[in-house]
Copies of this chain bind each other. A is one copy, B any other.
Amino acid sequence: MQGGKRDLILDAAEKVFREKGFHLATLDEIASKAGVAKGTIYLYFKDKLDLFLSTVERRFRELIDELEGMKGRFDDPVEAISGMTDVLFKFARSAERLVRHMTPEKLRKPPPGKLGVKAHMEMVREKVFKPIEEVIGILSGCVSEGQARGGFRADIDPKLAAVALISMIRGVVFLKIGIPELGIDTAESPKQVKALFLNGIMEG
């Protein structure tokens, strides 16, 4: 069981990062929750940031797999987008509090004393940028197809539309989590977002 321990650590890390955020999470808590010694973490991950980003990456991979699976299932771009929206809502609900902590500082600056801006950016590109681009690619692909087939407005940039859809979903979910007293209707949100977005990109 090679990777077994690695996943154990990732599971624990994800849970702690989600609840405390990156900086308030401690490797002590992660290690104890994972049932391994603190030092063991360093056998599988370069440092705390690497652990965090690996956590995020894993979630992105799952998301991408699910979205990819969806792509083939529907012929109609509208239905594909509708299905993907549901997937994105599910993702946001379980991962937004984790993903949220990917701030520009963490992505752009290597942890001090680690010598290697180059290597750092390389890792970030692999674990974060590429997956995000893939997700955007899948969604914008649907939009493009809708445009090609007709029915979708041609003056909308598919990539921007994709970003807009993802952002709406994340925003709605995050506000629900962060300020519950706003009274956002969890059950209705996906339907509303779909209506808004689809109506937005479709002609007349």
Q: Nearest residue in B to A96 (C-beta to C-beta)? A: B104
A179 close to B105 (CB less than 8 A): no
Q: Nearest residue in B to A25 (C-beta to C-beta)? A: B105
Residue in A136, A156, A178 with the greatest tally of chain B CB atoms within 10 Å:
A178
A156 close to B204 (CB less than 8 A): no
Report if A42 contacts B (CB, 8 A): no
- A168 to B169 Cα, complex, angstroms: 9
Report if A71 contacts B (CB, 8 A): no
CB distance from A48 to the nearest CB of B (A): 12
Of A3-11, A81-89, A181-189, the one with at least 4 CB within 8 A of chain B: A181-189
Report if A148 contacts B (CB, 8 A): no
Closest 9 CB pairs of A and B: A113-B113, A167-B171, A200-B200, A23-B23, A196-B200, A164-B168, A21-B105, A199-B200, A160-B192
CB distance from A38 to the nearest CB of B (A): 13
Give the interface size class of chain A. 35 or more
Name A168's contact: one of B107, B168, B175, B195 (CB within 8 Å): B168
What would be 10 A-B contacts, judged by CB atoms less than 8 Å apart? A97-B103, A102-B178, A103-B178, A107-B179, A153-B195, A153-B199, A160-B172, A161-B196, A164-B193, A200-B201
Binding site for B on A (CB under 8 A): 19-24, 97, 100-107, 112-115, 129, 132-133, 136, 153, 155-157, 159-161, 163-164, 166-168, 170-172, 174-175, 177-179, 181-185, 188-189, 192-193, 195-201, 204
B113 close to A156 (CB less than 8 A): no
B105 close to A24 (CB less than 8 A): yes
B100 close to A156 (CB less than 8 A): no
Given A166-B171, A167-B167: A104 and B184 interface contact (C-beta under 8 Å): no
Q: Nearest residue in B to A153 (C-beta to C-beta)? A: B199
Chain B residues with CB under 8 Å of A204's CB are 199, 204
A157 close to B192 (CB less than 8 A): yes
Chain B residues with CB under 8 Å of A23's CB are 22-24
